[in-house]
A and B are shown apart, each in its own frame.
Chain A
């Protein structure tokens, strides 16, 4: 296999032996790829700071002589380092949640350009100190779920298709198994998620219509933000089949008011 040169975001890095690292990238050209970075821990000159989590890097890798082994990383150059993310534990936890989600979801060697661009844009926005990190998280989750073919149905009942506009006020049940909201007339949820108010669901729908610039201008109630976030995170965990470790960490941070 000829060497592959591509842009990538570092999703995960684990120590291998005494001197090496196995680094998992989300590459633009080949989707999720793991590569062996030989001597990465032994020599700072070898890769420098270009193997740090969540960094956007330009990498070159190729398969070694052994068949079926991991490709060897021959070069990694830093393109964007997102230095504000690493200075804030809450932002680090959010970036970890996104990286863990993509790590769990993406298939090896399947390029997913839209998810790659979403991850880069979301990291850029999270790195921007003027942008509300919770809005960036909600937008990432909404967009990721849509790209993964799991858009939650929020504008009408998943059973009777009655529009949200006709429901009146009151609590709304979100059904994870059916992938959307269930109106009070249709009754019980199969796999109940968080209960939301009509207002919170409407604000989530408005947020989904625009980009981050539009979302930044939008005034959302704290309740809508928290409930919307909880809904999307629990919906994501439901489809991943487990709660990501980063999500557990994030919930713990929120409990400590960080």
Chain B
């Protein structure tokens, strides 16, 4: 490291702070940036600082957005009656990529986790209840994960939203596309059989 000029050492240090990047990878990335054009390096630096300055949480859905409300919350062509509740912004992106959902979202910013001390007040549950009180939403689709924490968060939401007059549904879980039944665990198979449908 000491063979490199201080500015390059600093770049390597900054890059190695990123998750999953060790010193060697950081060194390779830094040298790659140096080998590239000044324009590319400036574009990278500007995009980092622009994202940092402009990306905020949407005040309606709490997803990542560079405008408030975000483009999904502003989109008048989307179904305003249905809200899909997800744990993280990345889950929202996965659903958007699927193209299967045309409603709005609500990002909880996590899920309940007793052992990690994450309680209802640490999530955007109160904001969801407030959103429902405005009366436009008719269905809440709970799309939290299928881990123990995700399932119990879904159950907690069902109890909280009980009596709100809004239909609360849960995404199905079962055998994945291309999945092999013999490698599928007992609980997943049980769920898949419970939610079977007519062909």
Chain A positions within 8 Å of B, measured between CB atoms, are 12, 17-18, 44-45, 48-50, 52-54, 78, 81, 83, 85-89, 92-93, 96-97, 99-100, 245-246, 248-250, 252, 256, 258
Contacts and interface: CB of A to CB of B under 8 A. Distances in A.
A249 B187 contact: no
Given A52-B148, A92-B148, A245 B187 contact: no
A97 B125 CA distance: 23
A202 B10 CA distance: 68
A12 B115 contact: yes
B152 interface: yes
A83 B187 contact: yes
Contact of B114 (A17, A18, A93): A93
B113 to A, nearest CB: 8
B187 A53 contact: no
Given A53-B147, A92-B112, 20 more contacts: A12-B115, A45-B179, A49-B146, A49-B185, A50-B185, A52-B187, A81-B186, A83-B190, A86-B148, A87-B151, A87-B155, A89-B156, A92-B149, A92-B152, A97-B114, A99-B115, A100-B114, A249-B112, A256-B120, A258-B159
A256 B156 CA distance: 11
Most chain A beta-carbon contacts within 10 A, residue among B115, B184, B187: B115
B117 A52 contact: no
- Say what secondary structure dominates the interface of chain B: helix
A96 B115 CA distance: 6
A87 B152 contact: yes
Given A53-B148, A92-B114, A245-B116, A48 B185 contact: yes
Given A97-B114, A245-B115, A89 B186 contact: no
Interface string B176-191: 1001100111111010
Given A44-B179, A99-B115, A249-B114, A78 B148 contact: no
B148 A245 contact: no
Given A49-B185, A83-B190, A86-B148, A248 B176 contact: no
> From DSSP, what is the main secondary structure of chain A's interface residues?
helix
B20 interface: yes
A124 B152 CA distance: 18
B119 interface: yes
B183 A45 contact: yes
B43 to A, nearest CB: 25
Contacts of A89: 112, 152-153, 155-156, 159
A201 B74 CA distance: 60
Contacts of B121: 252
Interface of B: 19-20, 112, 114-117, 119-121, 146-149, 151-153, 155-156, 159, 176, 179-180, 183-188, 190
Nearest to A80: B186
A12 B188 CA distance: 21
Nearest to A85: B148
Contact of A248 (B117, B149, B184): B117
Contacts of B20: 17-18
Contacts of B179: 44-45
B159 to A, nearest CB: 7
26 contacts: A17-B20, A18-B20, A45-B183, A48-B185, A49-B146, A52-B148, A53-B147, A53-B149, A78-B185, A81-B185, A83-B187, A83-B190, A86-B151, A92-B149, A96-B114, A96-B115, A100-B114, A100-B115, A245-B114, A245-B115, A245-B116, A246-B115, A250-B114, A252-B120, A252-B121, A256-B120
A104 B115 CA distance: 11
A52 B186 CA distance: 12
A52 B156 contact: no
A173 to B, nearest CB: 30
Nearest to A249: B114
A246 B115 CA distance: 5
A252 B123 CA distance: 14
B190 A86 contact: no
B164 to A, nearest CB: 16
Contacts of B184: 48
A50 B148 CA distance: 12
